[in-house]
Amino acid sequence: MDMINLTIDNRPVSVERGTSVLQAASQIGINIPSLCYMKLEDLNIENKPGGCRVCVVEVEGRRNLAPACCTDVSEGMVVKTHSMRAIHARRTVVELILSDHPTDCLKCAKAGNCDLQSLAQYLGIREIHYEGEQSTFREDTSPAIIRELDKCIRCRRCEMMCNEVQSVGALSAINRGFNAVVSPAFEMNLDHSVCTYCGQCVAVCPTGALTEVDNTGAVIRALSNPDKTVIVQTAPAVRAALGEEFGNEPGTLVTGKLAAALRRLGFNYVFDTDFAADLTILEEGTELLNRLTAYLGGDKEVKLPMLTSCCPAWVKFFEHQFPELKDIPSSARSPQQMFGSIAKSYFADKIGVNRKDLVVVSIMPCVAKKYECSREEFSVNGNPDVDFALTTRELAHLINLANIDFKSLPDEDFDQPLGESTGAGVIFGTTGGVIEAAIRTAYEVFTGKKLERLDFTELRGMEGLRRATIDFDGLPIHIGIAHGLGNARKLLEDIQQGKSQFHAIEIMSCPGGCIGGGGQPYHHGDAEILKKRQMAIYREDAGKPIRKSHENPYITKLYEEFLGSPMSEKAHHLLHTEYFDRSKSER
Amino acid sequence: MPKIKLSQRTIEIVKEICSTFENNEGELINVLHEAQHKLGYLPAEVQELIANELNMSVAKVYGVVTFYSFFNMIPQGEFPISVCMGTACYVRGAEQILHEIKRQLNIEVGQSTPDGKFSLNCLRCVGACGLAPVVMVGEKVYGRVAPQQIRKIIAEYQEGCVRPERHEM
Ligand code: SF4
Ligand code: SF4
Ligand code: SF4
Ligand code: FES
């Protein structure tokens, strides 16, 4: 390996050629402030426009200060990261950025989590010596995301996520000079664009320019209305991340405290989306087996590979970009929507409440779920199956608001009948989990044999594209997994060209799956956090007494009492859906 | 954004331009340059077509079109009228002003009058918020405009104009 020796702040350091000064410094624990730069290690995600100049350092022998994030190390280089000259320049740069930034922190959704705010605090900016023009972009509200571009600092992280990682192409840098900003084509609103609402732009935006639509107010209203029965479901990935908002180490599981907190917030029933995930496996797994059996029986028309359909951003992605493939994904609704549908039929009947008086709230790691629950097909006579979807972040805010001391809460259980779940339901929260859960059930149903080993490690990991072959008692089943829509695109193109060898493919929009969802606590560019959340999810699974969806006793009961069997007419009506060609409807 | 339907001929021209550049995304600027040269301007529909042909996102195409002031998205009338839609102007009734101009000229935003004299455009803040609502005709700024004044402003320009060269879409 080609090593370079240099000196940073009087300390010798030796790093690989091609390393930036910023990374070299961080290797010896020196933190150079930065703003536009972002790197998600192991996920191959890097944003390096070199635009903000916050990271400038002094390099001996150079007249100008050098931006550390995009200056490569060189032999014998001598760097001073915190010289007074560098600090002065940094302060000036941040003051200039602030001179065209609303001083809105008091009511900004990002306050406390804003990189610009912490930078200004850290640099001790108390006064802005520059007076300049103020941007006046119009606010853009969509079902899931709000764009307040006056707060945009043009770091272009969102553009990088949307184009390079997601390959969606909804956003681009437009205009120039003072009017430069990141926007959809023709400055149209996001909801007219090809945006999937994956929220990955929101997850990386350093400021409050991109945030999720805030539904906490609506939930507070519902909870304070005595005429409403308000129930809540919480997605698997939430329990592996919520603790971070209360100072827990990343990867801390807070399932029991989560249930306790929701109960203290006043929800009448505290349920679990994991229950609906188990239900999804029975429907989707059965659909897969039906397709496989038809295929093996010589049916040439059958659609294979079958694609998972529980991620709403992924659904919107193929509706826009691959509408000709819209018969390939499973018709199963997502767990969030299955839950809503069952809650407002089976459960509403059970407790004798009219669906209009039953409010279903979901806690999701996800921004797209807000959009999903607003889709028309998921409502009955204008009454949505899921009324409001809150992100993990919004829930944390609500818990703080209610003065609940999260860390000292006891561990409590979910309520029944929609709160019982298996390990299979839990792993929906990470990339590879949905397909592993499906395999656990499909294998046993198909072969009639008991699985010896439940951990399909060959399906696990963080690589963007993975493949594995599972032996179904002599029949090799080929599985593909993609997370990040750019990776999904590659698998879809193979299908389009008839090259795909897979029987089933799992697709999740967010890097890491829902653990890395757009609604999770901000990772601030630290990809380690995602890995720790993933490990937590597998820990939760391993500790569950039941780990196969078809063994969930309440699921069995639901079929006996209400649905009949998987893919029955009733199940079809309540738990399945159809997809639309959106390639023309919007630009 | 109003929709225009491209003629078959326009579609062919654009496709041909793209193919001379081997439908290569890297040639976008040259493609746009050539398209504007042939068509006079680059309406949204042409940008969409180009995005399609070069297999790239229309947001990126629009990004490039708006980066270079050389590119035009509407056929400029001889007297381009712009209405500021920034927050201040909006609050002070820019919408009514816009409505009145549309009514008088009988055109939509992004169009020009059949005689080619006027084209209508919206702008984001022009930085004259103190004068809101603001209308610009060419370089000239009219501040605190009331709907009743529109007729007079238009009349100033109505006489003695030469018919400019026009392009068929
Ligand atoms: S919207 Fe946010 S992420 Fe995008 S360029 Fe602006 S500040 Fe950066
Ligand atoms: S939500 Fe996803 S698809 Fe939409 S603009 Fe953001 S990154 Fe792009
Ligand atoms: S991967 Fe999960 S969090 Fe991300 S968009 Fe899909 S469902 Fe939402
Ligand atoms: S962080 Fe280095 S230029 Fe922005």
Please report, for the domain that includes residue A116, its CATH number: 3.10.20.740
Structure tokens at A509: 């929009």
Q: Look at residue A436 in the predicted model and tell me its pLDDT.
A: 96
pLDDT at A177 (0 to 100) = 73
Q: At what angle do helices B150-158 and B94-105 cross, to 10 degrees?
A: 40
Reduced to 3 states (helix: H, G, I; strand: E, B; else coil), residue A540 is helix
Distance from CA of A481 to the nearest CA of B (A): 25
> Of the candidates A95, A450, A167, A65, which has an alpha carbon nearest to the alpha carbon of residue B60?
A167
- In ligand 4, the atom with minimum distance to the C-alpha of A22 is 2
Ligand 4 within 6 A of CB of A93: no
Q: Has residue A386 been placed in a domain?
A: no
CA–centroid distance, A183 to ligand 1, in Å, is: 10
Burial of residue B1 (number of CB atoms within 10 Å: 0-12, 13-18, 19+) = middle
Residue B59 has its nearest CB partner, among A137, A175, A184, at: A184
Torsion of CA A229, A235, A240, A245, to 10 degrees: -50
Q: Ligand 3 in contact with A517 (CB < 6 A)? A: yes
Candidate of A34, A123, A153 to mutate for ligand 4, largest count of ligand atoms within 8 Å of Cβ: A34
State residue B169's pLDDT score. 55
Distance of CA A16 to the CA centre of its chain: 33
State yes or no: cis peptide before A312, omega within 30 of 0: no
Contact A153, A137 (CB under 8 A): no
Alpha carbons A102 and A125: distance in angstroms, whole number: 15
pLDDT tens for A432-487 read: 999 999 999 999 999 999 998 899 999 999 999 999 999 999 999 999 999 999 99
The string of pLDDT tens digits covering residues A214-241 is 999 999 999 999 999 999 999 999 999 9
**Least confident among A15-29, A489-503, B74-88:** B74-88
Tokens matching residue A556: 């069995």
Q: Give the pLDDT band (50/70/90) at residue B69.
A: low
Give yes or no for a contact between A228 and A351, defined as CB atoms under 8 angstroms apart.
no
Distances (CA, A) of A371 to A169, A195, A367, A387: 19, 11, 8, 11
Domain ends where: A104, A122, A140? A122
For residue B162, what pLDDT is reported? 38
Tell me if residue A185 falls in helix, strand or coil: helix
SS3 state of residue A146: strand
Task: Give the SS3 label for residue A196.
Answer: coil
Q: What is the DSSP letter of A20?
A: B
Taking CA atoms, A213 is separated from A104, A161, A208, A237, A421, in Å, by 17, 19, 12, 20, 29
- pLDDT tens-digit profile of A28-53? 999 999 999 999 887 888 999 888 99
Please state, rounded to an integer, the average pLDDT across all residues of chain A. 94
Catalytic center residues of A: 284, 287, 310, 330, 369, 372, 377, 514
ipTM of the modeled complex: 0.79
As given in the structure block, the two tokens for residue A309 are 């359909």
Whether residues B63 and A174 touch (CB distance < 8 A) is answered with yes
Q: What's the whole-number mean pLDDT along residues B64-68?
A: 86
Across the interface, whether the CB atoms of B86 and A136 are under 8 A apart is answered yes
Please tell me the class of the B79-158 domain. Answer: alpha beta
d(CA A349, CA A315): 31
Q: Could you tell me if B85 and B123 are in contact, meaning their C-beta atoms sit under 8 angstroms apart?
A: yes
Report residue A338 as tokens.
Answer: 């299955």
Task: Examine residue A528 and state whether it is found in any structural domain, yes or no.
Answer: yes
Taking Cα atoms as reference points, which of B86, B137, B138, B76 lies closest to residue B110?
A: B76
Count how many Cα atoms sit within 13 Å of the Cα of residue A368 in the half-sphere of its side chain.
25
Alpha-carbon distance B114 to nearest alpha carbon in chain A (angstroms):
24
CA distance to partner chain B, nearest, from residue A21 (Å): 31
Of B44, B60, B87, the CB nearest to A136: B87
Radius of gyration of chain B (CA): 18
A483 Cβ closer than 6 Å to some ligand 1 atom: no
Q: What is the pLDDT of residues B99-130, one digit of tens each?
A: 999 999 998 877 788 888 888 877 767 778 88
Residue A310 belongs to domain spanning: 288-331+422-575
The strand pairing partners of A59, in sequence order, are A79
For residues A197 and A368, the answer to whether their CB atoms sit within 8 Å is: yes
Q: What is the mean pLDDT of residues B137-147?
A: 89
Task: Indicate which CATH number applies to the domain containing A491.
Answer: 3.40.950.10
Q: Candidates A316, A363, A393, A509: which one to mutate for ligand 3, based on the most atoms within 8 Å of Cβ?
A: A509
- Cβ–ligand 3 distance for A509 under 6 Å, the answer yes
What is the distance in angstroms between the Cα of B66 and the nearest Cα belonging to chain A?
A: 5
Q: Which residues in chain B touch residue A140, judged by CB atoms under 8 angstroms apart? A: none
Mean pLDDT of A393-418: 96
Q: Per DSSP, what are the bridge partners of residue A476?
A: A471
End-to-end CA distance of chain B: 17
Residue spans of alpha helices (H) in B22-149? 28-39, 44-54, 58-67, 87-91, 94-105
Looking at A80, A95, A122, the residue that finishes a domain is A122
Q: How many beta-carbon pairs under 8 angstroms link A with B?
A: 59
Strand order in the sheet with A465-472: A306-307, A504-508, A475-483, A465-472
Q: In degrees rounded to 5, what are phi and psi of residue A409?
A: -70, 145
Backbone Cα Rg of chain A: 25
Query: In the structure, what pLDDT confidence band is assigned to residue A586 with cuts at 50, 70 and 90?
Result: very low
Cβ-nearest to A172 among B44, B48, B59: B59
* A90 has a pLDDT exceeding 90: yes
Number of domains in chain A: 2
> B16 CB contacts (<8 Å, ≥6 apart)?
none
Note the pLDDT of residue A265.
98
Is the residue at A98 inside a domain?
Answer: yes
CA gap A327, A580 in Å, rounded? 10
3-state secondary structure of A174: strand
What is the tens place of the pLDDT at every residue in A357-388?
A: 999 999 999 999 999 999 999 999 999 999 99
φ, ψ for residue B140, nearest 5 deg = -80, 135
Question: What per-residue confidence (pLDDT) applies to B168?
Answer: 53
Instruction: Give dist(CA A136, CA B91) in Å, integer.
Output: 13
Q: Choose among B47, B61, B67: nearest Cβ to A176.
A: B67
Residue A3 has pLDDT above 50, yes or no: yes
Domain boundaries, chain B: 8-67, 79-158
Look at residues A122, A140, A174 and tell me which one is the last residue of a structural domain.
A122
Q: Is residue A329 exposed (0-12), middle (13-18) or buried (19+ Cβ within 10 Å)?
A: buried
Q: Which atom of ligand 3 is nearest to the CA of A334?
A: 7
CB B2 within 8 A of CB B110: yes
Distance CA A353, CA A345 (A): 10
Taking the centre of ligand 2 as the mean of its atom positions, its distance from the CA of residue A377, in whole angstroms, is 23
Q: State the Cα–Cα distance between residues B123 and B97, nearest whole angstrom.
A: 13
Distance CA A210, CA A189 (A): 13
Q: From the CB of A190, is ligand 3 less than 6 Å away? A: no
Query: What is the C-alpha to C-alpha distance for residues A316 and A318, in angstroms, rounded to an integer?
Result: 6
The residue whose CA is least distant from atom 8 of ligand 1 is A155
Residues of A in contact with B86 (CB under 8 A): 136
For a ligand 2 pocket test, name from A47, A181, A200, A510 the mutation site with the most ligand atoms within 8 angstroms of its C-beta.
Answer: A200
